[in-house]
Amino acid sequence: MRAIQMVDTKTQYLKIKNEVDAAVLKVMDSSAFINGKDVQDFALNLSQYLGVKHTIPCANGTDALQIALMALGLKPGDEVITPSFTFIATTEVIALLQLTPVFVEVDKDTFCITPEAIEKAITPKTKAIVPVHLYGQAAPMEAIMAIAQKHNLYVIEDNAQAIGCDYTFSDGTVKKTGNIGHISATSFYPSKNLGAFGDGGAIFTNDDALAEKLKRIANHGQSKRYYHDEVGCNSRLDSIQAAILNIKLQHLDEYNTARRAVAAYYDAAFANHPKIKTPVQASYAKHVYHQYTVLLENSTVRENLNKYLAEQGIPSMIYYPVPGHKQKMFDQLGVTNQEMEVTDWLTERVISLPIHTEMDEEQLSFITNHILTFLNQPI
Ligand SMILES: *Cc1c(COP(=O)(O)O)cnc(C)c1O
């Protein structure tokens, strides 16, 4: 059996090696390392894939979120509603820009921010909402956009974990996540569903004026070379990464299908088991399983399973062991003691199992058998 990994980017690469190697060599030969044709092609292809008007490639997903927030022209102290139960990048950039992250609860089944929690957190200072499509599951965007419209707020989707996810609105319209909010951000970190061979990210919008502003901010605030209209930053996607991503984009749907097949295998193996709760698929979207995250009875069981699996050569991860509102970096916000029952409950129970595009049945049966053996042992 091949060694089991949380993600296996090497095996995935070997399947497209010829194409990828040729594309990389071509960039080296052209030496158009910055903003070459591959970057422009990739932006166009990605726009087409998502059905979005503008794609602005940038250096990583964290920058994408930061640039998106910078484009809104907010003032220090303005409030941005976001889940506590997410990767730190989502909330960190809010604080970095001297805006105030307002942490709200997620749903215990979908792991995503809830419309009820958002409504409760709105104050006259609220300017934006940053929902996260966590683990590849879409946040309830239809309700979120309705709240945003009612209260005149911006919505920035954190789509770093859900690229390729289809969202169905109540009138039957289907859109990709990342094409629903006013702006959205994604990451091409190697382990993401669409992963580069290094860092990368992109920002999306259907708004022409915002697109111009996002482009300008990502490029030192300049609209014309050496004329800098506003304070921006330097955030670019390398041509080599774009060339690789152009190839991988053609496989994205197939990659997400492979992830869903792994999830279906796990779902079937653990179906109705009283000691493990498998991920719930929201009715409105097609999960793309960036992670396959289950819930266990408590943190002790989780620790024991994590150790037991490691002894069998099976990795497992806790995403994320500390929620945003308890991170030391936010001490000055005084939110450590904020009541976040669901978030705290989930934080103690979640564990993510290996899931990627290259898993085979032998590995899956090995993993599920060991987990069932662990769960079924008499205490
Ligand atoms: C990966 C990730 C990011 C940040 O992306 P980087 O490319 O690592 O900067 C932001 N938000 C979420 C939810 C992520 O998973």
Q: Mind listing the pLDDT tens digit for each residue in 182-230?
A: 999 999 999 999 999 999 999 999 999 999 999 999 999 998 999 999 9
Instruction: Give me the chain's average pLDDT, please.
Output: 97
Question: Residue 378 C-alpha to ligand 1 middle, in angstroms?
Answer: 40
Q: Which amino acid is at 19?
A: E
For residues 13-26, give the mean pLDDT. Answer: 98
Say if residue 89's pLDDT is above 80: yes
Residue 379's pLDDT band (boundaries 50, 70, 90)?
low
Residue nearest to atom 3 of ligand 1 (CA): 61
Instruction: Give nearest CA residue, ligand 1 atom 5.
Output: 61
Q: What is the pLDDT of residues 314-361, one digit of tens each?
A: 999 999 999 999 999 999 998 888 899 999 999 999 999 999 999 999
Q: What is the pTM of this model?
A: 0.97
Asked if the bond preceding 320 is cis, omega within 30° of 0, the reply is: yes
CA of residue 200 to ligand 1 center, whole Å: 10
pLDDT in tens, 269-306: 999 999 999 999 999 999 999 999 999 999 999 999 99
Alpha carbon distances (Å) from 242 to 18, 20, 32, 34, 78:
16, 11, 12, 10, 35
All structural domains of the chain with their residue ranges: 9-249, 252-376
CA–centroid distance, residue 307 to ligand 1 (Å): 27
Beta carbons of 258 and 276 less than 8 angstroms apart: no
Equal CATH topology for 9-249 and 252-376: no
Q: Which residues line ligand 1 (CB under 6 A)?
A: 60-62, 86-87, 89-90, 132, 158, 160-161, 187, 189, 199, 201
Ligand 1 centroid – CA 201 distance (Å): 9
pLDDT recorded at residue 336 = 83
pLDDT at 335: 87
Residue 67 has pLDDT above 80, yes or no: yes
pLDDT band at 174 (very low <50, low <70, confident <90, very high): very high
Q: Work out the average pLDDT over 53-72.
A: 98
Phi, psi dihedrals of residue 171, rounded to the nearest 5°: -90, 5
Question: Which residue among 93, 111, 161, 352 has the greatest number of ligand 1 atoms within 8 angstroms of its CB, and so is best to mutate?
Answer: 161
d(CA 272, CA 268): 9
**Which pLDDT value is given to residue 334?**
86
Measure 227 CA to ligand 1 centroid, in angstroms. Answer: 31
Identity of residue 133: H
Taking the centre of ligand 1 as the mean of its atom positions, its distance from the CA of residue 290, in whole angstroms, is 12
Overall fold of domain 252-376: Aspartate Aminotransferase, domain 1 (3.90.1150)
From the CA of 224, how far away is ligand 1's center (Å)?
30
9-249 folds as: Aspartate Aminotransferase; domain 2 (3.40.640)
Give the count of beta carbons closer than 10 Å to the beta carbon of residue 271.
9
Which of 87, 93, 96, 159 to probe ligand 1 with, by most ligand atoms within 8 A of CB? 87
